[in-house]
């Protein structure tokens, strides 16, 4: 599968990213089947896998960690997310350590803030993310579900890096991001990672 460059990072990832929220729910897909899906996807050229600490309370991350042992770590681009309830400085650091342990890896390629938390100063979260980069525990900082004003504010509090991506709800039916945030991100060379692109199968 032809890879595309992830904005300013120069990382080459597959245009199709394997989502994994269902891997944290055994009633939807069992562990062995989930591992088989992940490994087959990587074999077919999908090198980017998206997960979150909240998917199955970490189960999804654990399944991915086991599945990617079949490959060289550098051949897989892992995206995971810190939850909305863990955006205080120390909470971000603890959440990252827990995700690293579940993924059984020494670094996360792209670490996203899953949702903005209006009760936690953005500066506090941004500084924690930069510390994780400085310590080599994450390679890039990203966001998810951030509006244009919040994206701009987050960028203002980053002094040594920039936002590498913003994961947003986007498909043929939900196109609100085309009004403001998408044009801005295109101008600033910040990639959009679209989720629910097939509208839960309705598209």
Task: Write out the catalytic residue numbers.
Answer: 55
> How far is residue 184's CA from residue 177's CA, in Å, rounded to a whole number?
10
Could you please report the per-residue DSSP string of 122-187? Answer: HHHHHHHHHHHHHTTSEEEEEEES--HHHHHHHHHT-SS--EEEEEEE-SSS--GGGTTHHHHHHH
From the number of C-beta atoms within 10 Å of its C-beta (0-12, 13-18, 19+), residue 161 rates as: middle
> Cβ(24)–Cβ(56) under 8 Å?
yes
CB-CB contact of 34 with 23 (8 Å): yes
State the burial class of residue 53 (Cβ atoms within 10 Å of its Cβ: 0-12, 13-18, 19+): buried
The label of the residue with tokens 């510390």 reads 131
């Amino acid at each position: 599968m032809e890879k595309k460059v992830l904005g300013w990072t120069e990382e080459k990832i597959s245009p199709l990213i394997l989502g994994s929220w269902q891997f944290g729910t055994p009633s939807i897909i069992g562990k062995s089947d989930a591992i088989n899906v992940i490994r087959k996807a990587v074999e077919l050229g999908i090198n980017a896998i998206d997960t979150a600490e909240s998917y199955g309370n970490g189960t999804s991350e654990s399944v991915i960690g086991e599945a990617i042992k079949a490959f060289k770590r550098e051949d897989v681009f892992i995206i995971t997310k810190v939850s909305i309830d863990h955006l205080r400085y120390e909470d971000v650091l603890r959440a990252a350590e827990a995700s690293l342990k579940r993924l059984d890896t020494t670094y996360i390629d792209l670490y996203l803030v899953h949702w903005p938390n209006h009760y936690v100063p953005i500066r506090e979260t941004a500084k924690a993310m930069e510390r994780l980069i400085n310590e080599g525990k994450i390679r890039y900082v990203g966001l998810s579900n951030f509006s244009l004003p919040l994206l701009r504010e987050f960028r203002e509090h980053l002094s040594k890096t920039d936002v590498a991506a913003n994961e947003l709800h986007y498909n043929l039916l939900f196109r609100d991001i085309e009004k403001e945030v998408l044009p801005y991100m295109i101008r600033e060379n910040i990639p959009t990672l679209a989720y629910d692109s097939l509208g839960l199968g309705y598209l």
